[in-house]
Every structure is written in structure tokens, then in C-alpha cells.
Structure 1
Amino acid sequence: MIGFERRRDRFDFFDRMESPAVNLCFTLDVPDFRPWCKAQGLAPFHVMLCAVLRAVLKVENFRYRIVDGEVIRIDRLVPSFTVMNQHGDLNFAQFDWSDDVREFVARGMAAREEASTMTELNVKYRTMSPRDAKDQVFVTCMPWLDFTSIQHPMASIAAPDIPSFAWGRFRDGPDGLQLPFSVQAHHGFVDGWHIHLIGRQVAAELAEIIR
């Protein structure tokens, strides 16, 4: 992990802090992919989720994790996201990765349907080993809100190594769509530049999907 070794001193600096998390909310510009989704019969949220997770895999700094005190780089992602059940309580949906966007969306829709019918927290989420949990990023969508800030929960305030992403309500922009987008990550791994890169990569992934 040559990229990480170059920033090991930054990691050590931030990791000693009580909270080494960096959290930025910004307006993300993306191509308007909704007409393509409608024509293809695909849910826009799940296409957006696919683009975000593809972007994570391409911006290496978002693949670093801490396992037993050591920094590793994950090679895969387990897609997961929050859903709301019939009582208005959140749950977590998980499914197996697919490189094909249509299969990705189909699996995500099935996972959403399964998790939304549960009254208790999804057992798949509760029974993950600490190592397997590192293959996630945390994703939530609040399509009702044009939010300007967010604070994501962390299992430990001292170890925010699993990145968190959130986005809100779409609105028309000058060149496509705009939406509030939040990124939280370990500052030892990620700076503002990398958050800029992930936003740019999400837009590029959406453009590639609908091309």
C-alpha cells in the first residue's frame, strides 16, 4: 500500500485525536440520470448507490480500514443501505455485489423489500464479524431533505475508519442534477481533496452508466 505509506505520518497524527473523523457536506453536481432510469425501468436510488460504491472502489483512500490496530486495504464491498420498515423505523439492507448495473439494482431492490418487512434489526447486519464489517461503507438517503449538515453515528468515536455517505433531495441544476451529499471518513486516510475526487468520480460513474 504505497499510497498509505506516504501518509502514515498523517494517519498517526489524526489517529491520536479523540475524534479523527472529517465530515463534509456539499452540493454534488451529477448528470440527470432519471430519464435513463425511467426508460430502463430501474430505480434511481439504486443506480445512484451503484455509482457511489463503484466510485469508492476507484478512490483508494476510501478503501483503507483498521483491523486489529493495523491498516489494511479492502478489495471488495458489501453493498448496504438504510431502509424504512412499516413502522417508520430504520433497518439495514445488504446484498451481494454485482458488476452489472441491472443485476445490482435487482439485488438491491430484493434486499430493500426483505429489510423493510422486518421489525427487528436485520440479522445479516448484526451477525457480521468485525473483519467482514470492514467491507462496507455506510449509506443513507434522505430524499425529503435538502440538508446542509449531518453527523453520522460511529461505533467508536476514535475509529471512524468505515466511511459514511448520505445524500438528499435532487433538484435541477444548470447542467443536470444537484443534490446535498455528505462524506464522513477517517482524516488519516482522507482529506478534502479525496472528498472532491469521490464526488467527481460519482458523477463520472453515472455518466458511464447512462452512456
Structure 2
Amino acid sequence: MHNFDQRRDRFDLFDRMDSPAVNLCFPLDLPDYRPWCKEQGLPPFHVLLCAVLRAILGIENFRYRVFEGEVIAIDRLMPSFTVVNQNGDLNFALFDWSDDLREFVARSVRAREQACAMTALNNAYADLSARRCKDQVFITCIPWLDFTAIQHPTATLGAPDIPSLAWGRFKDAPNGRLQLPLSVQAHHGFVDGFHIHQLALRIGAELAGMMQPRA
């Protein structure tokens, strides 16, 4: 929490505002990891989800939360993301973290299948304690659209302490790269544009690390 203590005055400034959220949407440049996923038999969305969440865990500012009026730093994440069910309606997939990529993907795929098969809204969140809810990051994927802006919903306008991320349609880029629109929303008392820049770099580094041959 040493880093937060250095920016507590920034937190106090933005937290007094009606909406302290910062939301940036930009084209994210990444190594094209899709051929590697095909070789490994891994679905690209779930691999990218793992890379994004690992990157978030690696940047302290994205781990700050407000709980019972105090700022805390979480040390784990509960992966969750949106899916489309059989009726074309949104639902939520939720699962337990794993440090192992293949196990992470397997759990993520199972959670997606379960949520997609449900017609009612997945209410697993209702069973979480208030503290456990703070371990989340809200993730959505809109693979049909190359969007340029997004408004994330927030339960309380003045409390956007749980980051919300969304990405859209992949498109090929030169030199073995790919691009996709990425939206990052977070509490501006915790996160500045510089930290979002760090996150973008770290997501690419996480993917590159996954593709490195193992000795």
C-alpha cells in the first residue's frame, strides 16, 4: 500500500466527484497469438482473458479497492466474464483462479458452457460476501464490433472501484501483429492513463511469455 499512500491526495480529489471513473478506449496492439493457440488446442478468448487478468494482478493500482470505507489491495482475482446464452441474452460466467494456463482455460471454458446453457441470470454473485466481491474484475467481449467507445454500467455511480474491461473484434495488423479495441474503466483515484498504458504493454508481454518455448 506504499504506492497508494503516495497518491492518497489524488484519491481524495477524484473520490469526491459524482463519478470518479476514468474510461479509455483505444486500439490494443498485440502479438498475433492465434496461430499458437491453434497449435496448442487453446481457444484464443480464454487465453487472452488469462493474459489480461495476469496483467491486472501485476499492476498494483488495478488491485486497489474500497471496502468498508477503507482502501485495500486485493491479492487474488476471481475471473468472470459475460456470455451470450441460447436466447441471445447476456449471462455471467464465474470461476476460480488457476495459475496454470491450461487449467485456467479449462475452468473458463466450463464456466462459459454452464452460463450459456442457463436461461435465468446466473446469480452465483449473490452468494459472495461483500469482501469477496472485491476480488472481481468485470470483463466483457464484443467480438462482432470494432467499437471506439463504451459506457460500462456501475451499480453506484460514485464507486467504480472494481475495474471494467471490454474488448472487441480482432483485426490483422502488419508484421505478425493483431489489433483489437480495448476499453478500460477504473477509479481515477487509483488509475491514471499511465497505468492503462502499462496494462496494455503488460498484456502483450504476458501473451509473448506464454508463447515462449518451455525448456
**How far apart are the structure 1 equivalents of 2:29 and 2:186?**
21
Q: Is the 8 A contact 1:79 1:94 kept in 2?
A: yes
**How far apart are the structure 1 equivalents of 2:132 and 2:120?**
21
**How far apart are the structure 1 equivalents of 2:174 and 2:13?**
40
- Structure 2 counterpart SS, 1:152: coil
**How far apart are the structure 1 equivalents of 2:207 and 2:62?**
19
1:145 aligns with 2:126: no
Gaps of 5+ in 1: none
Q: Is the 8 A contact 1:146 1:169 kept in 2?
A: yes
- Structure 1 counterpart SS, 2:119: coil
1:195 aligns with 2:196: yes
Could you list the runs of 4 or more consecutive aligned residues of structure 1 that deviate by over 3 angstroms after TM superposition? none
| 1:34-74 CA distance string (max 9 Å, x none) | 00100111100000000000000001100000001100000
Q: How much has 1:123 moved relative to structure 2?
A: 2.4
1:52 aligns with 2:14: no
Deviates more, 1:124-133 or 1:84-93: 124-133
**How far apart are the structure 2 equivalents of 1:120 and 1:196?**
37
**How far apart are the structure 2 equivalents of 1:122 and 1:128?**
13
- Structure 2 counterpart SS, 1:161: coil
Partner of 1:96: 96
Deviates more, 1:114-123 or 1:18-27: 114-123
1:136 aligns with 2:136: yes
Partner of 1:118: 118
1:1-211 superposed matches below 5 A: 1-175=1-175, 176-211=177-212
Number of positions where the alignment pairs a residue of Structure 1 with one of Structure 2: 211
Gaps of 5+ in 2: none
Under a length normalisation based on structure 1, what TM-score does the superposition of the two structures give?
0.99
Percent identity, aligned pairs only, is: 70
Deviates more, 1:167-176 or 1:54-63: 167-176
Under a length normalisation based on structure 2, what TM-score does the superposition of the two structures give?
0.97
Deviates more, 1:168-177 or 1:148-157: 168-177
**How far apart are the structure 2 equivalents of 1:157 and 1:164?**
13
The residue identity in structure 1 corresponding to 2:72 is I
Q: How much has 1:125 moved relative to structure 2?
A: 1.8
Q: Is the 8 A contact 1:165 1:182 kept in 2?
A: yes
**How far apart are the structure 2 equivalents of 1:126 and 1:34?**
35
For the aligned residue pairs, the C-alpha RMSD in angstroms reads 0.7
The residue identity in structure 2 corresponding to 1:100 is D
Q: Is the 8 A contact 1:85 1:117 kept in 2?
A: yes
